[in-house]
Amino acid sequence: MFEKSLADLIRGIRANKKGEEDYIASCLEEITTEIKSNDIDIKAVALQKLTYLNMLGYDMSWASFHVVEVMSSQKFQYKRIGYLAAAQSFNKDTDVLMLCTNLIKKDLTSNKMYETALALNGLSQIVTPDLARDLIDDLLRMMNHSQPYIRKRVVVLLYKVFLQYPEALIMAYPKLKEKLEDEHTSVVIATVSVICELATHNPRNYLPLVPQLYNILSNCSNNWLSIKIVKLFALLAPEEPRLAKKILPAFGLLLEGTSATSFAYEILNSMIKSGLIKQANQALISLCVEKLKEFIIDRDANLRYLGLSALSELVVIFPKVIGAFTDIVLERLDDIDLTIRRKALDLIPSMVTKPTLIPIVDKLMSYLIKDEDEWFNNINIFTDKEYRSCIVNNILNICSKDKYANISNFQWYICTLCNISFVENIYNVDNVANQLMDVCIRLKDTPLRKFIMEKMIELLKNKVIFEKKFIKAGNSNVLYVASYLLGEFRNSIDIENVEDLLFSLTSSEAKELSDIVQNNYIIAILKIYIYWLLKSDFNESSIDAFKQITTMIMQKLQLFMNNSGIEVQDRANLVLEILNKIYEQYDPINDVDKDLIKSIDSLFDGELKPVAIKAQKMVPVPNELDLDHVINEEAQEMLNEIESSFADESRYFWMSRVINPKQIKEPTKQELREARKKREQSKKDNLFYLDDEDDEKPQNSFYEPDIDEIPIVKFTYDFGKINIILI
Amino acid sequence: MINFMLLVSRQGKVRLTKWFNSNWTTKERSKIVKEVSSLVLSRRTKMCNVIEYKELKIVYRRYASLFFIAGIDANDNELLCLEIIHRYVEVLDRYFGNVCELDLIFNFNKAYYILDELLIAGELQEPSKKAVLRVIAQQDSLAEGEEYSVQ
């Protein structure tokens, strides 16, 4: 008497939404008793319930013996419950699998076709090396089974068998070849599928099948089969150079003739992925390009996505081909599907050239500053940080490529970077700031420098960037760049703007900025102030301006001194003291005093230059430097020790001279672990021990020989021998 | 090769899991089910049906309240996989007669048996709907103890 049928269980779970866990626990308890029942009806239903719960994530490995019991039932309806449970729950470590060999053998050779099929399906899920070895003879015999229904299963199952028991492949190969000619298409499909999987591991083995496969392909009307064969040819072609010549025209004809998109896609994709397309003639390449275009503009999102994916692999082979796609790929940036947009975005770097750069970047920019209310398919693009950051990265990458080679108008680029600084909802504002810094330092042209300075002053004065959201998101860190550049290249600032700039730098909003920005602000104030003193011609009437501005700055520096960051305070203090000294001692009308200012200005001398990655190599090695000279002899010996430990044999050899081998007791893993624990504990307890990760060298403390006694010089290796031993 | 096949409801309830790749432990499997279903459930309608997932590709399609999800190898044909999924749904639909999620919940074993006729070891074994339906019907009658004979 069992308490619940499967339907009862499922209904119960649905009825107990709140106490589901408890309900299932009680059901599991019932199942545990039911499954031990002697009544096969009860046992099978219990197993079926358990399989259901297993699907929901509950363990059923404890019941594997009962699974075998049900599998061995005489009744088909129970057998299938048993096999289903086995397929779902057994893995290679299930110990009852050993009990299954005879059971499966019996079912395989059963005179009832569906029992055989059950066993084949089950075996495909649970086959182990042992099972494979024990059953291979039966399986090979069954490849000639009278029913195609069985033959196709055996063929596919064999692939799983080969994985577990590779020797079987040699035995099965002739029959597999035979099955390519089977009268039933489903058997041929199965055979080609298996060969296709096998060919991903070792394509060379299947080259002899080419004529047969070619025949099938030319006479084939089955879409599924054609796709598999095309895929297989793509795997084989790289192994045999002559194959491309034969197969490419066939591919061309098929591609032109087919109306099945999945087949057309397979031909395209296989040709691109295998590199076969490199050997195609112009006509075939254009056909591929046309087909790809059709995909990319198709109404079906899948085709658009797959088309773009294939295109991104095609551009790796033929970089120039992207020219034909520029417009349609750009259109995909507006796609309703974000995944497709992302794919299109990935393609952008490959299509940028000098003339197309500006329109492409402007288009990308338009997505960043588009209306907040724009919704696509229920996703507000404006809030999708990931996608927006991708766009920004894309802009930075395509512009900085090859040291900004594609940029013809740097004023435009600097404006663009400044604009991105105000873009919300992106992760990578810091990258933008870094690039702005990089590009501005590289640009030495005087009018451009002037332009940069104007732009930076604009940034500094823009109140928007001090808004809380921008400060929080890190956008304001662009002022780190602005303040630095203004200080460094102060000579390019128009002197009329300087007083105004000093006011901006000391505005009270500055205290909201992060410490690293404030640091740059303070130094910029000093640099620009000194520049102002040097460039201004003071006379009796304008001396007041000097006093006014100096005291103003001194007052405003208080702002920075209230900062809790020690570095900001320190810098503010330093600058304040310098200004104080100047205020007290400097007479702007007296030319002699100018030397003081000049000497301060000289502190900031020197020009920043970009350093090439390979620069270090260009530094010549000084003559007196001998890199081979031994600076520490002990270190040399330690190095030798490490080297010799690579070859176990040799270490053993000279070690044995030092220490009596009998005294060496190999420490067990457990002992080693304990020793290491102890050592780490004592390291931790030692206040004076500075932890150093490099400490973990492969030294064996048990073999600490007296280094002087090691007769390294006398020993000669025979490397040839050692190698042989090691192998 | 199809590595796994999942049926997940719109609420994230698992309705079927079939693993053709035996390389994963039980733990890894449940992790995959979790990650893949949340990936698929977060997709909007009109989005494409292919997602990259680790070294696999996820191909899915929604039918009413159920997502049919397959994890295929990187070099497999996504469109073909969609056709296989569709074929499976068609067979289910014919078998149950206008199939709905409840049919599959209460007859979860049938869903597996039908899948076993369509796929074996992650490969398509029978492209013909009719053939699948015929053998399933024969198996059912066999299970019900009715007379049958193998032609």
- Please compute Rg for chain B using Cα positions: 16
Does residue A553 lie in a domain region? yes
Determine the Cα–Cα distance for residues A47 and A6; give it in Å rounded to an integer. Answer: 10
Determine the Cα–Cα distance for residues A572 and A583; give it in Å rounded to an integer. Answer: 16
Determine the Cα–Cα distance for residues A3 and A480; give it in Å rounded to an integer. Answer: 74
Nearest-10 crossing angle of helices B108-118, A76-89:
80
| Whether B141 contacts chain A with CB within 8 A | no
CA of B15 to nearest chain A CA: how many angstroms apart? 8
Tell me whether residues B50 and A305 touch, CB distance under 8 A. Answer: yes
Tell me whether residues A190 and B123 touch, CB distance under 8 A. Answer: yes
Tell me whether residues B14 and A56 touch, CB distance under 8 A. Answer: yes
Determine the Cα–Cα distance for residues A378 and A658; give it in Å rounded to an integer. Answer: 77
Q: Which residue has the tokens 């067979």?
A: B91
Least confident among A179-188, A254-263, A349-358, A605-614: A605-614
Boundary (domain end) residue, out of A585, A602, A619: A602
**pLDDT tens string A397-410:** 999 988 899 999 99
**pLDDT tens string A417-441:** 999 998 888 888 889 999 999 999 8
Interface of A with B in 279-318 (CB under 8 A): 301-302, 304-306
Domain span at A583: 444-602
| Whether A5 contacts chain B with CB within 8 A | no
pLDDT at A709 over 60: no
Structure tokens, A183: 């009268």
Tell me whether residues A302 and B14 touch, CB distance under 8 A. Answer: no
User: Do residues A537 and A604 touch, judged by C-beta distance below 8 A?
Assistant: no
Q: Are A523 and A597 part of one and the same domain?
A: yes
Residues of B whose CB is below 8 A from A197: 1, 123
CA of B77 to nearest chain A CA: how many angstroms apart? 7
Does residue B148 lie in a domain region? no
Counted across chains A and B, CB pairs separated by less than 8 A come out at 142
User: Do residues B7 and B69 touch, judged by C-beta distance below 8 A?
Assistant: yes
A52 CB-side CA count, 13 A: 27
- Report how many domains make up chain A: 2
Contacts of residues A297-301 at CB distance under 8 Å and 24 or more positions apart, as own/partner, are: A297/A328, A297/A331, A301/A335, A301/A336, A301/A337, A301/A340, A301/B46, A301/B47, A301/B48, A301/B49
CA A335: distance to chain centroid? 25
Determine the Cα–Cα distance for residues A477 and A692; give it in Å rounded to an integer. Answer: 35
Residues of B whose CB is below 8 A from A59: 26
Residues of A whose CB is below 8 A from B6: none
Tell me whether residues B124 and A262 touch, CB distance under 8 A. Answer: no
Least confident among A32-41, A71-80, A191-200, A582-591: A582-591
Boundary (domain end) residue, out of A602, A619, A652: A602
Does residue B151 lie in a domain region? no
Among the partner-chain residues B78, B112, B120, the one whose CB lies closest to the CB of A84 is B112
Among the partner-chain residues A125, A189, A338, the one whose CB lies closest to the CB of B124 is A189
3-state helix, strand, coil in chain A (%, to 5): 75, 0, 25
Nearest chain B alpha carbon to A190 = B125
Stretch A178-201: mean pLDDT: 93
| Whether A114 contacts chain B with CB within 8 A | yes
pLDDT at A323 over 70: yes
pLDDT per residue rounded down to tens, chain B (151 residues): 999 999 999 999 999 999 998 888 888 998 999 999 999 999 988 889 999 999 999 999 999 999 999 999 998 999 999 999 999 999 999 999 999 999 999 999 999 999 999 999 999 988 889 999 999 999 998 888 744 443 3
Query: DSSP string covering B60-127, please?
Result: EEEETTEEEEEEE-TTS-HHHHHHHHHHHHHHHHHHHTS--HHHHHHTHHHHHHHHHHHEETTEE---
CA nearest to A333, candidates A299, A365, A357: A365
Stretch A212-220: mean pLDDT: 92
Residues of A whose CB is below 8 A from B42: none
Determine the Cα–Cα distance for residues A322 and A320; give it in Å rounded to an integer. Answer: 5
Backbone angles phi, psi at B62, to 5 degrees: -95, 130
Residues of B whose CB is below 8 A from A189: 124-125, 127
Q: What is the pLDDT of residue A618?
A: 83
Tell me whether residues B144 and A147 touch, CB distance under 8 A. Answer: no
CA of B100 to nearest chain A CA: how many angstroms apart? 16
Residues of B whose CB is below 8 A from A61: 26
Interface of B with A in 53-82 (CB under 8 A): 75, 77-80, 82
| Whether A94 contacts chain B with CB within 8 A | no
pLDDT at A20 over 60: yes
Q: Are A587 and A522 part of one and the same domain?
A: yes
**pLDDT tens string A486-535:** 999 999 998 888 999 999 999 988 888 999 999 999 999 999 999 998 88
Among the partner-chain residues B25, B120, B150, the one whose CB lies closest to the CB of A113 is B150
Query: DSSP string covering A437-455, please?
Result: HHHHHH---HHHHHHHHHH
Q: Are A598 and A645 part of one and the same domain?
A: no
| Whether B147 contacts chain A with CB within 8 A | no
| pLDDT classification of A135: cutoffs 50, 70, 90 | very high
Tell me whether residues B139 and A114 touch, CB distance under 8 A. Answer: yes
Q: Which amino acid does the sequence have at A22?
A: D
Residues of B whose CB is below 8 A from A262: 77, 79-80, 82-83
pLDDT more than 90, % of chain A: 54
| Whether B25 contacts chain A with CB within 8 A | yes
Among the partner-chain residues A88, A91, A262, the one whose CB lies closest to the CB of B79 is A262
Q: Which residue has the tokens 């970009």?
A: A610
Determine the Cα–Cα distance for residues A617 and A475; give it in Å rounded to an integer. Answer: 37
Instruction: Give the max Cα distance, chain B.
Output: 49
Angle at the Cα of A331 (from A329 to A332), degrees rounded to 5?
65
Q: Are A571 and A449 part of one and the same domain?
A: yes
> Which residues lie below 8 Å from residue B37, measured CB to CB, with a gap of 6+?
B6, B8, B12, B14, B67, B69
**pLDDT tens string A641-688:** 766 555 444 433 333 334 444 445 667 788 888 888 888 888 777 777
pLDDT at A716 over 70: no
Backbone angles phi, psi at B60, to 5 degrees: -140, 160
| Whether A70 contacts chain B with CB within 8 A | no
CATH number of B18's domain = 3.30.450.60
- Report how many domains make up chain B: 1
Does residue A466 lie in a domain region? yes
| Whether A471 contacts chain B with CB within 8 A | no
Tell me whether residues B78 and A302 touch, CB distance under 8 A. Answer: yes
| Whether A266 contacts chain B with CB within 8 A | yes
CA of B50 to nearest chain A CA: how many angstroms apart? 7
What SS3 class is residue A376?
A: strand
Domain span at B138: 2-143
Among the partner-chain residues A81, A114, A337, the one whose CB lies closest to the CB of B46 is A337
| Whether A261 contacts chain B with CB within 8 A | yes
Q: Are A452 and A504 part of one and the same domain?
A: yes
Mutate to test the interface with B, among A47, A91, A223, A235 (most CBs of B within 10 A): A91
Determine the Cα–Cα distance for residues A369 and A426; give it in Å rounded to an integer. Answer: 12
Bridge pairing between strands B2-9 and A379-380:
unpaired
- Please compute Rg for chain A using Cα positions: 39
Does residue A224 lie in a domain region? no
Tell me whether residues B48 and A305 touch, CB distance under 8 A. Answer: yes
Q: Are A506 and A577 part of one and the same domain?
A: yes
CA of B97 to nearest chain A CA: how many angstroms apart? 19
Determine the Cα–Cα distance for residues A544 and A674; give it in Å rounded to an integer. Answer: 78
Nearest-10 crossing angle of helices A633-646, A648-658:
120
Q: What is the mean pLDDT of chain A?
A: 85
Q: What is the pLDDT of residue A708?
A: 58
Nearest chain B alpha carbon to A377 = B44
Stretch A561-590: mean pLDDT: 89
Does residue A643 lie in a domain region? yes
Residues of A whose CB is below 8 A from B115: none
**pLDDT tens string A274-312:** 999 999 999 999 999 999 999 999 999 999 999 999 999
pLDDT at A721 over 50: no
CA of A513 to nearest chain B CA: how many angstroms apart? 38
Tell me whether residues A52 and B139 touch, CB distance under 8 A. Answer: no
Tell me whether residues A306 and B50 touch, CB distance under 8 A. Answer: yes
A350 or A664: whose pLDDT is higher? A350
pLDDT at A413 over 60: yes
Query: DSSP string covering A266-296, please?
Result: HHHHHHHHHTGGGG--HHHHHHHHHHHHHHH
Determine the Cα–Cα distance for residues A213 and A188; give it in Å rounded to an integer. Answer: 10
User: Do residues B37 and B70 touch, judged by C-beta distance below 8 A?
Assistant: no
Stretch A268-275: mean pLDDT: 93
Tell me whether residues B80 and A377 touch, CB distance under 8 A. Answer: no
Q: What is the pLDDT of residue A722?
A: 43
Tell me whether residues B47 and A338 touch, CB distance under 8 A. Answer: yes
Could you tell me the sign of the dihedral formed by the alpha carbons of A317, A318, A324, A326, in that order? Answer: positive
Q: Are A457 and A534 part of one and the same domain?
A: yes
Q: Are A495 and A552 part of one and the same domain?
A: yes
Stretch A465-477: mean pLDDT: 88
Q: Are A465 and A592 part of one and the same domain?
A: yes
Listed in sequence order, the DSSP H helices in A128-258 are: 129-142, 148-164, 167-179, 185-201, 210-218, 223-236, 241-257
Could you tell me the sign of the dihedral formed by the alpha carbons of A47, A51, A53, A54, in that order? Answer: positive
pLDDT at A639 over 80: no
Determine the Cα–Cα distance for residues A319 and A506; give it in Å rounded to an integer. Answer: 52
Q: Are A455 and A595 part of one and the same domain?
A: yes
Determine the Cα–Cα distance for residues A382 and A370; give it in Å rounded to an integer. Answer: 8
Does residue A554 lie in a domain region? yes
CA of A152 to nearest chain B CA: how many angstroms apart? 7
Structure tokens, A644: 């010799």
Residues of B whose CB is below 8 A from A273: 75
Q: What is the pLDDT of residue A344?
A: 93
A699 or A75: whose pLDDT is higher? A75
Tell me whether residues A91 and B139 touch, CB distance under 8 A. Answer: no
Does residue A695 lie in a domain region? yes
